[in-house]
């Protein structure tokens, strides 16, 4: 089991997304998630990305905290 601390950069990399500061800023500026849609159901995720997010949350994995931070940033 990976017990390392994860950052937003490592989460983006794990999801297969560009993880430069500029790319992450653009992602958050260009994507918004309404309060009534769970993070893993956002239309911009692939099936595998949605599954990773769903498992991180449901299993309260070591990714859960940074996934929660991403969720908050997408609800700006």
Using CA atoms of 21, 25, 31, 36 in order, give the dihedral in degrees to the nearest 10: 90
What domain range is 44 assigned to? 38-76
> Residue 31: how many CA atoms within 13 Å on its side-chain side?
18
Residue at 56 is within a domain: yes
Give the pLDDT score at 18.
98
Task: Count how many domains the chain has.
Answer: 1
Flag whether 67 is in a domain: yes
Task: Tell me the whole-structure pTM to 2 decimals.
Answer: 0.89
* Tens of each residue's pLDDT in the chain, 76 residues: 455 689 999 999 999 999 999 999 999 999 999 999 999 999 999 999 999 999 999 999 999 999 999 999 999 8
């Amino acid at each position: 089991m990976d017990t390392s601390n994860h950052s937003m950069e490592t989460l983006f990399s794990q999801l297969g997304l560009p993880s430069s500061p500029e790319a992450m800023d653009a992602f958050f500026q260009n994507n918004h998630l309404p309060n009534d849609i769970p993070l893993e159901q956002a239309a911009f995720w692939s099936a595998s990305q949605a599954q990773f997010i769903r498992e991180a949350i449901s299993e309260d994995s070591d990714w859960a905290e940074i996934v929660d931070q991403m969720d908050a940033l997408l609800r700006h």
